[in-house]
Amino acid sequence: MLSAWLSPLIANKTLEVFPSSTGTGAAISFQAPTGPLIACIDDSHTVQRQVKMVLEMFGFQILEITDPTSCLTSLVRQKPALILMDITMPEIDGYELCTMLRQSRHMRNIPIVMFTGRDGIIDRMRAQLAGANDYITKPVNADKLVTKVQRLLQNNKYLSNQLSSDIDVTIGGSSSRL
């Protein structure tokens, strides 16, 4: 069981195990994650800890936000690569917040994953209409979470590369690169 948790940490060099200098046992070196920043917006500290523990094992940095009403400044300043967001939160729900983020020029292209205890088709449709890219039900399955995060980041990176690549345009025999 322990090796299943340690393997990803060792593979991405977040955790390094080497012989101790005293010759007995092993020494462990832990390095802070340096991968993409993932924002987790949830009013539950328990959920925040679970998400952080899982995603940090795979090298992701985590921006924990428990107050959705004051998250816009943090999100714009920190520029996360992906946002995980609960639907049921006090004062503003995830649907409203997702809609607001999609209207912001700074946030509109960042993938958003809604996660909630609600598993109905109406909730999934509302999340999609609000602009969410994906939906995960709680309790969050660690493998499913990591797979979705990696897939969305890869898709978003591909899209960004496609949009930023040069375009050759020929008009009336004259070629230009845009």
Condensed to tens digits (0 to 9), the pLDDT of residues 69-115 reads 889 889 999 999 999 999 999 899 999 999 999 999 989 999 999 98
Inform me whether the pLDDT recorded for 1 exceeds 90. no
Inform me whether the pLDDT recorded for 169 exceeds 70. no
Q: How far is CA 26 from CA 16, 17, 20, 29, 132, in A?
A: 10, 7, 5, 10, 45
138-161 pLDDT per residue, tens:
888 999 999 999 999 998 775 555
Does residue 120 fall inside a structural domain?
yes
Inform me whether the pLDDT recorded for 164 exceeds 60. no
Average pLDDT over residues 19-32: 62
Does residue 171 fall inside a structural domain?
no
Does residue 168 fall inside a structural domain?
no
Does residue 169 fall inside a structural domain?
no
Inform me whether the pLDDT recorded for 125 exceeds 60. yes
Whether residue 89 sits in one domain with residue 141: yes
Indicate the number of domains in the chain.
2
Whether residue 126 sits in one domain with residue 75: yes
Whether residue 117 sits in one domain with residue 47: yes
Query: DSSP assignment of 33-85, as one string?
Result: --S-EEEEE-S-HHHHHHHHHHHHHTT-EEEEE--GGGHHHHHHHH--SEEEE
Owning domain of residue 22: 1-31
Average pLDDT over residues 62-69: 93
Whether residue 60 sits in one domain with residue 12: no
Give the lowest-confidence range in 20-24, 44-48, 64-68, 114-118.
20-24
Q: What pLDDT is stored for residue 21 in this prediction?
A: 62
Does residue 92 fall inside a structural domain?
yes
Q: What pLDDT is stored for residue 87 in this prediction?
A: 95
Read off the CATH number of the domain in which 127 is found: 3.40.50.2300
Whether residue 51 sits in one domain with residue 125: yes
Does residue 161 fall inside a structural domain?
no
37 has which bridge partners?
Answer: 61
Does residue 167 fall inside a structural domain?
no
pTM of the model: 0.73
DSSP reduced 3-state for 18: strand
Whether residue 139 sits in one domain with residue 60: yes
Residue 174: pLDDT band with limits 50, 70, 90 = low
Whether residue 57 sits in one domain with residue 9: no
DSSP reduced 3-state for 91: coil
